[in-house]
């Protein structure tokens, strides 16, 4: 009996300990089960991250158009335009009526960059109806990207004397680049009355690109304008026409007091294969003014001869400027190719 009682107490104590250990281990199993359930709830498909469908940049940008933040809508439009997907056009067009000007501008720019020819009417309507000058400027630029317009009325209205200067200049230059003959009559009347030299130059440039006899005859009177920059524009516009009718005017300007005008006249002569201004060009081949230097090289490339090649060789040897030497080498190559092909 002495041994039975302690043994019984020890047995009961051990059972209580093991029972308590069993109780504490059960919650751990329950927690593990709950963790599995949560994991399955978060990913019901059971697929790993790599197996989940990835959102494309196009889809992400399209979703961004619905943002209530203008900056995010603008970025979304810019992203869609950068993807160059025509499917973006229908998503972008509604943004032309966005309440935020920066978003509108982004939409206009995007439609121009995507060469949305069917958007011409939308861009023209925005140009005509919008009050914000930056949005209207963007419309003019985007219309210029189209290469042609079926209805130029909005652009012509934007060139009117009542419009803001920067918008007028953009519209005038675009109409010239697109060779919209319907604008010629208005441009001639504007040029006759215009006082602003910047607008005058834009009108001369546009009329020159339209290349009609009436417009060119109007331009010729500005070859002797008191403003040297207007003289230069007039000589360039006539020269770009490729007409030989104005060669005497060019030759008279070879002695112009302003070297930019004189070289422009020599360049216009070179365009019709007349080397009368070649000697003048030789003097400016290494001029510090890059615009004068560039004109001299262009003239030399078009009508340069053996003397020009020799002069270029000597300047290549003298110069330590690698960029300048490369330009001279390129000019020399153009001369050699032309002389070879003319034989």
Angle at 235 between CA 255 and CA 328, to 5 degrees: 75
Q: What pLDDT is recorded for position 113?
A: 96
Q: What pLDDT is recorded for position 43?
A: 54
State the number of CA atoms in the 13 A half-sphere of 165 facing the CB: 8
- Cα 314 to chain center, whole Å? 40
C-alpha distances (whole Å) from 176 to each of 151, 171, 206 are 15, 9, 4
Q: What pLDDT is recorded for position 36?
A: 45
Q: What pLDDT is recorded for position 343?
A: 72
Instruction: Report, as ranges of residue numbers, the positions in the chain whose pLDDT lies below 70.
Output: 1-52
Three-state SS at 43: coil
88 secondary structure, DSSP code? G
Tens digit of each residue's pLDDT (9 = 90 or more) over 42-73: 555 555 555 457 899 999 999 999 999 999 99
- Is the entire prediction scored with pTM above 0.85? no
Contact (Cβ atoms closer than 8 angstroms) between residue 188 and residue 155: no
Instruction: Give the whole-angstrom CA distance, residue 100 versus residue 88.
Output: 20
Pair of tokens at residue 233: 């524009």
Q: What is the fold of 57-151?
A: 1.25.10
**How many residues belong to the chain?**
343
Q: What pLDDT is recorded for position 342?
A: 82
Three-state SS at 65: coil
């Amino acid at each position: 009996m002495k041994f039975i009682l302690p043994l019984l107490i020890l047995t009961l104590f051990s059972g209580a300990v093991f029972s308590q250990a069993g109780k504490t281990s059960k919650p751990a199993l329950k927690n593990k089960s709950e963790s599995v359930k949560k994991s399955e709830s978060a990913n019901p498909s059971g697929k790993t991250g790599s197996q989940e469908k990835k959102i494309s940049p196009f889809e992400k940008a399209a979703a961004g158009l619905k943002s209530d933040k203008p900056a995010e809508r603008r970025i979304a439009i810019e992203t869609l335009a950068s993807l160059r997907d025509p499917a973006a056009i229908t998503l972008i067009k509604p943004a032309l009526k966005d309440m935020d000007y920066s978003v509108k501008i982004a939409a206009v720019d995007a439609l121009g960059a995507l060469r949305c020819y069917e958007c011409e009417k939308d861009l023209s309507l925005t140009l005509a109806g919008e009050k914000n000058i930056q949005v209207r400027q963007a419309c003019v630029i985007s219309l210029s990207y189209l290469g042609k317009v079926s209805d130029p009325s909005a652009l012509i209205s934007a060139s009117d004397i009542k419009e803001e200067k920067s918008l007028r200049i953009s519209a005038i230059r675009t109409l010239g680049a697109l060779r919209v003959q319907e604008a010629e009559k208005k441009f001639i009347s504007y040029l006759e009355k215009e006082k602003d030299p910047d607008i005058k130059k834009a009108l001369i440039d546009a009329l020159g690109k339209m290349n009609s006899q009436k417009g060119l005859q109007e331009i010729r009177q500005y070859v002797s304008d008191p403003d040297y920059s207007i003289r230069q524009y007039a000589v360039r516009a006539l020269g770009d026409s490729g007409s030989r009718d104005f060669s005497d005017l060019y030759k008279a300007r070879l002695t112009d007091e302003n070297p930019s005008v004189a070289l422009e006249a020599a360049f216009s002569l070179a365009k019709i294969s007349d080397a009368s201004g070649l000697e003048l060009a030789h003097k400016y081949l290494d001029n510090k003014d890059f615009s004068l230097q560039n004109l001299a090289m262009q003239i030399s490339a078009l009508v340069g001869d053996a003397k020009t090649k020799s002069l270029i060789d000597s300047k290549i040897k003298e110069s330590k400027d690698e960029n300048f030497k490369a330009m001279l080498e390129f000019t020399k190559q153009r001369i050699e190719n032309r002389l070879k092909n003319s034989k």
